């Protein structure tokens, strides 16, 4: 199915998202882009020489999830850890530019803010350079994260855990936050090492490779029903939305449920960076507004179709989602 959402229902859903508050807790980073052109190969090594034309920084990781929520009119309550460095300052500036409160970023002075630098030649990524520490954050930071998360959960409509495996989301913190969420919708964009901590989460959104690795499988599309069954058995998750790149998504509404296949709506694919952030953010915001899992997944699929047609971590506006729906309906 390309979509079971009528345009009228889509418009209702988009209107219902405004003002919904989602607590986003996860690994923060700054995505730095260096754009240039390549016209020659280096005489020092067989690598391209990129002549820099412009540079820009964008909020990434859990902060990009927050950007996607804000772009559709939601209110992200963002909690995470940064260092005491210039990268953190730029990240705060980018969040402020996007209308996101950066007041709950916890500083761990001896830990650098994660920085991913992508060298781009036109629309092509030449290489990526990462500055990061992936060891667990300190005990003091964990206590502050737990306190901030529990306090903000009191005013949130849903919980979203953005797990990039950079050391912020420990088993204990995950359990504390899921408990604080109670009956409110919760989601996780997971890493395979933490699947055992996600029991009780409303929905997890792994890609097929992450889902496969979590159960010792390759994650081939044809084996996803088996993989999903094993994940439900191992984790205690309530629902699964497995993203499969150009194959779209498979939604499993509970253990033993037959997969609902959601075909991709992307017409052009330039950059899949951050597409998982879009899916998890939009799905969770929809659940916070009372949408069904299927409606949320269909809405997230439309938004993802918008962002992967852009270069770099990106967001989708309501107008762009509606246009994507129209393009799909007319395909």
Question: Within a 10 A sphere around the Cβ of 139, how many other Cβ atoms?
Answer: 8
Q: Is residue 229 part of a domain?
A: yes
Q: Which residue has the tokens 């996860």?
A: 26
Q: Is residue 227 part of a domain?
A: yes
Q: Which residue has the tokens 């191992």?
A: 234
Residue 110 appears among annotated catalytic residues: no
* Size of the chain, expressed as the number of residues it contains: 331
Q: What stretches of 113-259 adopt beta strand conformation (E)?
A: 114-121, 124-131, 158-162, 186-189, 203-204, 240-243, 249-252
Q: Is residue 221 part of a domain?
A: yes
Dihedral over Cα of 300, 305, 307, 308: its sign: positive
Q: Is residue 121 part of a domain?
A: no
Q: Is residue 220 part of a domain?
A: yes
Please state, in angstroms and rounded to a whole number, the distance separating the CA atoms of residues 298 and 292: 10
Please state, in angstroms and rounded to a whole number, the distance separating the CA atoms of residues 97 and 101: 10
Q: How many CA atoms lie within 13 A of 228 on its CB side?
A: 29
Please state, in angstroms and rounded to a whole number, the distance separating the CA atoms of residues 224 and 193: 19
pLDDT at residue 2 in the model: 43
What is the mean pLDDT, run by run of 10 residues, along the chain of 331 residues? 77 97 97 95 95 94 96 98 98 96 96 96 91 95 96 97 94 94 95 83 94 92 95 92 91 96 73 80 98 97 88 85 85 50
pLDDT at residue 233 in the model: 92
pLDDT at residue 313 in the model: 72
Q: Is residue 37 part of a domain?
A: no
Q: Is residue 47 part of a domain?
A: no
Q: Is residue 55 part of a domain?
A: no
How many Å separate Cα 329 from the centre of its chain? 26
Question: Within a 10 A sphere around the Cβ of 68, how many other Cβ atoms?
Answer: 29
How many structural domains comprise the chain? 1
Please state, in angstroms and rounded to a whole number, the distance separating the CA atoms of residues 218 and 206: 13
What residues make up the domain containing 106?
7-30+60-114+133-329
pLDDT at residue 18 in the model: 97
| 290 Rama sector, left if φ>0, alpha if ψ -120 to 50, beta otherwise | left
Q: Which helix (H) or strand (E) holds 106?
A: strand 105-107
Q: Is 283 exposed, middle or buried (0-12, 13-18, 19+ CB in 10 A)?
A: buried
DSSP 166: S
Tokens of 6: 């009528």
Phi, psi of 265 (to 5 degrees): -110, 5
Tokens of 140: 């003091």
Please report, for the domain that includes residue 322, its CATH number. 3.40.1190.20
SS (H, E, C) 254-283: CCCCCCEEECCCCCCCCCCCCHHHHHHHHH
Of 97, 225, 277, 326, catalytic: 277
How many Å separate Cα 14 from the centre of its chain? 19
pTM of the model: 0.93
């Amino acid at each position: 199915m390309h979509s079971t959402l009528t345009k009228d229902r889509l418009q209702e859903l988009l209107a219902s998202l405004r003002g919904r508050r989602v607590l986003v807790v996860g690994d923060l980073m700054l995505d730095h882009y260096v754009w240039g052109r390549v016209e020659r190969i280096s005489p020092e090594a067989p690598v391209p020489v990129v002549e820099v034309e412009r540079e820009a920084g964008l909020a990434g990781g859990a902060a990009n999830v927050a950007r996607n929520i804000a772009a559709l009119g939601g209110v992200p309550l963002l909690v995470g850890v940064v260092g005491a460095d210039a990268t953190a300052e730029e990240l705060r500036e980018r969040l402020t530019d996007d209308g996101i409160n950066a007041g709950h970023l916890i500083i761990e002075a001896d830990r650098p803010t994660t920085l991913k630098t992508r060298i781009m030649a036109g629309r092509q990524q030449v290489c990526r350079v990462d500055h990061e520490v992936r060891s667990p954050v300190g005990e003091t930071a964990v206590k502050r994260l737990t306190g901030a998360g529990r306090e903000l959960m009191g005013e949130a409509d849903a919980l979203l855990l953005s797990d990039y495996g950079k050391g912020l989301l420990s088993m204990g913190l995950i359990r504390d936050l899921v408990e604080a969420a109670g009956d409110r919708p919760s989601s996780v964009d997971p890493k395979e090492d933490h699947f055992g901590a996600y029991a009780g989460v409303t929905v997890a959104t792994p890609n097929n490779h992450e889902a496969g690795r979590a159960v010792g499988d390759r994650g081939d599309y044809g084996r996803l029903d088996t993989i999903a069954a094993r994940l439900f058995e191992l984790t205690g998750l309530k629902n699964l939305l497995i993203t499969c790149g150009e194959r779209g998504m498979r939604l499993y509404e509970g253990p033993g449920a037959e997969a609902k296949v959601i075909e991709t709506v992307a017409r052009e694919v330039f950059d899949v960076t951050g597409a998982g952030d879009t899916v998890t953010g939009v799905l969770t915001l929809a659940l916070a507004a009372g949408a069904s899992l299927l409606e949320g997944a269909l809405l997230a699929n439309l938004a993802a179709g918008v962002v992967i047609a852009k270069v770099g971590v990106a967001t989708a506006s309501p107008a762009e989602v509606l246009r994507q729906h129209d393009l799909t309906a007319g395909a």
